[in-house]
Structure 1
Amino acid sequence: MPVYEYLCNDCGPFTDIRPMAECDLPHDCPQCEMSSPRVILTAPNFFCMPSERRKAHATNERSRHAPRTSAEYKASHGPGCGCCSGNKPARLMTKTKGGAKGFPTARPWMISH
């Protein structure tokens, strides 16, 4: 269950763990027992999250709302990139019927993107 923040007019802010179905309902203050509305006082605790997970969240947010264009994708790969340029000799690069490129002799343990 998530932790929600509430603000009592007399006692100040307090937090409580409640079911998500009750997220918008007011809650009684633990000190004076007055009904208090839910408020958002602090940002989510992303700083406690490992950096790999933060990067994954950032990537998911970017890809969901603003996917990269083909120009942005090509800009992230430098000139002579093995996946984007056709400068590889035919013996180092193979193509399947679907158009996928493969590099069987260069590094067989790597998967091309």
Structure 2
Amino acid sequence: MPLYEFRCNGCGIFDEWRTMNDSSNPANCPDCQESAKRIFSIPGVRLNGALRLNKTANSEPQLVTKPATDPDKNIRAKSHGGRPWMLGH
């Protein structure tokens, strides 16, 4: 059963579990028993907790250092012969 939000004029907003068939019917306020109208609320959708996993306790970015490399050693291989992927040009 979905959870719907209702607004009572005297007490404010409250939630109530209802079937989809009863979703458009007014609800009685749990405090004053007055009739309350349903209000639109954004559904709470969570996709495998992805939003929760991405949050960190510290919002500051972490400092990442590059490993020390030998400046004389070139990581990329030098190409001899121009552009080998452009045959016939």
RMSD: 1.7
Distance (Å, rounded) in 1 between the aligned partners of 2:44 and 2:35:
27
The equivalent position to 1:49 in structure 2, one of 47, 50, 57, is 47
2:5 is paired with a residue whose SS is strand
Aligned structure 1 segments of 4 or more residues deviating by more than 2 angstroms: none
- Tell me the TM-score normalised to structure 2 length: 0.51
> Partner residue of 2:22?
22
Distance 1:49 1:29 in 2: 32
Identity in percent = 36
Gaps of 5+ in 1: 53-113
1-structure distance, mates of 2:16, 2:3: 6
Larger radius of gyration: 2
CA-CA distance at 1:49 after TM superposition? 2.2
| Residue in 1 that maps onto 2:10 | 10
Q: Which amino acid aligns with 2:7?
A: L
- Using the size of structure 1 for normalisation, the TM-score is 0.41
Query: What letter corresponds to residue 39 of structure 2 in structure 1?
Result: V
Sort the Cα spacing of 1:51 and 1:22 in 2 relative to 1 into closer, same or farther, 3 A. Answer: same
Partner amino acid for 1:24? S
Partner of 1:32: 32
Rounded Cα–Cα distance in structure 2 between residues aligned with 1:49 and 1:9:
35
Higher helix share: 1
Q: Map residues 1-113 of structure 1 onto 2, 5 A cutoff.
A: 1-40=1-40, 42-46=41-45, 48-50=46-48
How many residues align? The count is 50
